[in-house]
Amino acid sequence: MNYNPDRVILLRQVERMTQKKLAEKTGIAQGTLSKLQNRQIDFTDEAARRISMATDYPLSFFLDQDQPVPIVELTYRHTSSASVGELNAIAAEYALLRSVAQKLSSALRLQSKTSWIDAIAPRENELEQSRIERLADSTRTHLGLSESGSVPNLTRAIEKMGIVVAPLHALASKQTAHLNSDGVTQPNCKDMPTIGYSAKNNTGDRLRFTIAHELGHLILHRYRRPQLYREMEREAHRFAGALLMPQNDAKLIMPQRLMLTDLVRLKAGWGMSISSMISRASNLGIIDADRTRSLQIQLSARGWRKEEPVHVGDEHPILLKQMIVAGYGDPADPNKGIDTFKAENSLNVPFRFLDQWADGLKEQGASIGFGSKTFRQADN
């Protein structure tokens, strides 16, 4: 069989596993693994099976020829102290997620619904703020949302247009301590658009903004990339605010003498954090710099930067789960669960990742005590 040595590297990146650790788990000498990864020796069936057994990855994982996603093409932010291991783990898991979404889309012969992104994606180098506002308004139209008012369920609106939204384990891992982004996407990808996010220790309002932010990247940076990364982030941030609270609405409901009590009242209805609404009011010139600074100081003084008042419910994606069930469930009884073995060996990833990305999956045989390992079990 034509095993792909690059998949060993990808596995180690996803699992944040050193070559030495993999050698210990498999009983394969570290020097042999090094030569295997560098294509200095053949990747034999015996080696593939030993790595598969030791790591609980399906053998088909090592036959996959999909290319990894270059880190520079992804949109998540990180601090200067973020480790290479952290960044590689996110890029590697995102590559697996994107590959699974594309395999399912092809197998189910799904028609693309995202041509509108190409149609409205800007090509010009410089984007005026007014242009971003108009692009957000146009996006609401394409998502079937009204031109004004809050967005009831942003995740569902995006999924209905064929964009996969999924929680990534790497973004929620306890080891991820130096990232200041809760989402990731690849704007220039021409396959099924995919947004990954962190669901751990996150609030509903923050998740909605994260998903809106990553959608902004998919649209604004599909064919252009500002020289400074912070400018990309500023554009996506502006887009997210405009998508969740259109300009006309913001000017109507937020007074110039904006108070924290006003924002607390607005939060539940608009599903936006108080912090993001302060930024929205400032960006639109509803409040001046002094008022913006005053509100931010008050926010910090009350401890609301870490935990704001007013609960906004979480949105849970369903598109990827529906695709997996359609491909590997029982057509006569969709509630029966999926064929785990078939799913793993067709999609070339362990079940625990499918379960993570689908926000929970039911397995055939669960009623009689059969069950695969999941990240949820490890977290509990």
> By percentage, how much of the chain surpasses pLDDT 70?
94
Residue 178 lies in a domain: yes
The predicted-structure confidence for 50-105, as pLDDT tens digits, reads as follows 999 999 999 999 999 998 888 889 998 666 556 888 889 999 999 999 999 999 99
Residue 212 sits in the same domain as residue 360: no
- Are 183 and 198 in contact by the 8 Å Cβ rule? The answer is yes
Residue 126 sits in the same domain as residue 171: yes
CA 339 distance to own-chain centroid:
25
CA dist., res. 303 & res. 310, Å (int)? 14
Question: What's the rounded mean pLDDT across residues 171-181?
Answer: 58
Residue span of the structural domain in which 40 resides: 1-65
Please identify, among 15, 39, 65, the residue that sits at the C-terminal boundary of a domain. 65
Question: What angle, rounded to 10 degrees, do the helices at 84-107 and 340-347 form?
Answer: 110
Of 268-272, 290-294, 318-322, 364-368, the least confident: 364-368
Please report the pLDDT score of residue 289 as a whole number. 96
Please report the pLDDT score of residue 379 as a whole number. 61
Residue 204 lies in a domain: yes
Whose CA is closest to 4, among 92, 53, 66?
66
Whole-model pTM? 0.94
The predicted-structure confidence for 280-314, as pLDDT tens digits, reads as follows 999 999 999 999 999 999 999 999 998 999 999 99
Please report the pLDDT score of residue 178 as a whole number. 46
Task: Kindly tell me the sign of the dihedral angle through the C-alpha atoms of 297, 299, 300, 305.
Answer: negative
Please report the pLDDT score of residue 79 as a whole number. 60
For residue 107, how many C-alpha atoms fall within 13 Å in the half-sphere facing its CB?
A: 15
Residue 28 lies in a domain: yes
Residue 73 lies in a domain: no
Looking at every residue in the chain, the average pLDDT score rounds to: 93
The predicted-structure confidence for 184-202, as pLDDT tens digits, reads as follows 999 998 889 999 999 887 8
Please report the pLDDT score of residue 72 as a whole number. 87
The predicted-structure confidence for 208-242, as pLDDT tens digits, reads as follows 999 999 999 999 999 999 988 899 999 999 999 99
334 SS3 class:
strand
Residue 80 lies in a domain: no
Name the strand (E) or helix (H) holding 183.
strand 183-185
Task: Kindly tell me the sign of the dihedral angle through the C-alpha atoms of 21, 27, 31, 35.
Answer: negative
Residue 230 sits in the same domain as residue 363: no
For residue 66, how many C-alpha atoms fall within 13 Å in the half-sphere facing its CB?
A: 24
Residue 74 lies in a domain: no
Between the alpha carbon of residue 91 and those of residues 69, 75, 259, 281, 285, the distances in Å are 6, 10, 41, 34, 37
CA dist., res. 339 & res. 332, Å (int)? 14
- Model confidence at 176, in pLDDT bands (50, 70, 90)? very low
Q: Which two tokens stand for residue 253?
A: 């409901």
Residue 165 sits in the same domain as residue 227: yes
CA dist., res. 150 & res. 206, Å (int)? 15
> Is the per-residue pLDDT at 10 higher than 80?
yes
Residue 277 sits in the same domain as residue 325: no
The predicted-structure confidence for 327-353, as pLDDT tens digits, reads as follows 999 888 878 899 999 999 999 999 999
The amino acid occupying position 179 is L
Residue 324 sits in the same domain as residue 247: no
CB atoms within 10 A of CB 147: 10
CATH of residue 23's domain is: 1.10.260.40
Residue 97 lies in a domain: no
> Is the per-residue pLDDT at 177 higher than 90?
no
Residue 371 lies in a domain: yes
Count how many domains the chain has.
3
The amino acid occupying position 223 is Y
CA torsion, ordered 240, 243, 248, 250, to nearest 10 deg = -50
- Are 73 and 188 in contact by the 8 Å Cβ rule? The answer is yes
More confident residue, 173 or 87: 87
Residue 212 sits in the same domain as residue 262: yes
Residue 145 sits in the same domain as residue 205: yes
Residue 274 sits in the same domain as residue 168: yes
Q: Which two tokens stand for residue 288?
A: 């001046």
